[in-house]
Amino acid sequence: MNKTLIFLAYILFLGCKEQTKPIADISVTDTKNEKVEKPSETFGIVIHGGAGTILKKNMTPEKEAAYKAKLEEAIKVGHTILKNGGTSLDAVQKTINILEDSPLFNAGKGAVFTNTGKNELDASIMDGSNLDAGAVAGVTTVKNPINLAREVMINSPHVMLSGAGAEQFATERNLKIVDPTYFYTEDRFKSLERVKEKEKIATKTTAFYDPMIKDAKFGTVGCAALDKNGNLAAGTSTGGMTNKKWNRIGDAPIIGAGTYANNATCAVSSTGWGEYFIRAMVAHDISALMEYKGLSLQEAATLVIQKKVPDLGGDGGIVAIDHKGNVAMEFNTAGMYRATMNTEGEIKIGIYKTQE
Ligand code: ASP
């Protein structure tokens, strides 16, 4: 065999070695002294309830306490599932359900209003173990859109359904259907009226800087989780933006923009100005920076949220967890409702950018 062939065989050998590298990061020696892969006991969960101009001076102590309590209730649901050996997909879905059922967040019950006074909901979910995904856009009668997204992923040959077809599928799958009036909340309706008033007198430039009009875009909920088997999942659910027109769809149901999960890298859920998050492919970009450039989760999240998105003119944030349980909660707005819990059960809840 000549030298070139030996060299090529060696390169091939190295390549194969690289591919068998454990994803779960933990390998133990069994009784026969052979190396076997065992699932890691590490797990973790991180959630957001939207990013925006959330300032302490505009918050009452009661309101702040209500947000923190709901974030805590939601994350504990997911954490318990993970602690008991449940899947990251279940943790993501059930955690988001709590936030969807609360009028505090712009998802499910607290969804914002469209320009014509309706509520059109978007959601998506992704399974990092096989890159399977499901998404729905513009549904008006499905109580928990994240459940429908998961149904699309599991029980349909498609990835994304919208409008009337998505609702028909929801009925066929026996999901909870509600009258559209279920989504009415006085607060959100008043926001619509205020934004419309502002819009009447705003020029293109003042509209861009008006916090009321700008923040008409925020308030989504999302979750990313790692289970004990090393599987990552992420999900996002939203009412979109107040005063949205023409069946506008944001980033939340777009796989790669609002939601992404890949066991080899991380799971991400976004919240922010959807138009920019779609253009920057935020969630997938963070994963790709880890996969192709070797960045850590925090480095990738910082680059995308503090540079790429604002360079385009957008704002918002993400929550993410990597396959080792590291968490990122990165945002470029004044605040982001957020919480995280780790294997040890330590909980961190935050609202503002500066120390709480
Ligand atoms: N990203 C969502 C959208 O543009 C809004 C949000 O995150 O609050 O629809």
pLDDT digits (tens, 9 = 90+) for 240-279: 999 999 999 999 999 999 999 999 999 999 999 999 999 9
Averaged pLDDT score across all residues of the chain: 88
SS3 91: helix
Does the beta carbon of 48 lie inside 6 Å of ligand 1?
A: no
* Ligand 1 midpoint to CA 114 (Å): 13
Residue 202 phi/psi, 5-degree rounding, is -85, 145
Q: What is the greatest pairwise CA distance in the chain?
A: 81
Give residue for tokens 């998404």: 135
Q: For ligand 1, say whether the CB of 241 is within 6 Å of any of its atoms.
A: yes
Classified as helix, coil or strand, 225 is strand
Q: Does 272 sit in the ligand 1 pocket, CB within 6 Å?
A: yes
pLDDT digits (tens, 9 = 90+) for 213-225: 666 667 799 999 9
* For ligand 1, mutation pick of 273, 309, 319 (most atoms within 8 Å of CB): 273
CA distances from 268 to 35, 61, 218, 302 (A): 32, 30, 17, 13
Residue nearest to atom 6 of ligand 1 (CA): 218
Q: Is 218 in the pocket of ligand 1 (CB under 6 A)?
A: yes
> At residue 27, does pLDDT exceed 50?
no
Q: Does the beta carbon of 161 lie inside 6 Å of ligand 1?
A: no
Is the pLDDT confidence value at 146 over 80? yes
Tell me whether strands 132-139 and 160-162 are parallel, antiparallel or unpaired: parallel
- What integer is the mean pLDDT of 29-37? 40
- In this prediction, residue 316 carries a pLDDT of 96
The model carries a pTM of: 0.88
Q: Which of 218, 242, 318 maximizes ligand 1 atoms within 8 Å of its Cβ, making it the mutation to test the pocket?
A: 218
Structural Rg of the chain based on CA atoms = 21
User: How far is it, in rounded angstroms, from Cα 336 to Cα 270?
Assistant: 11
Q: Percent of the chain at pLDDT above 90? A: 78
| Ligand 1 geometric centre to CA of 249 (Å) | 9
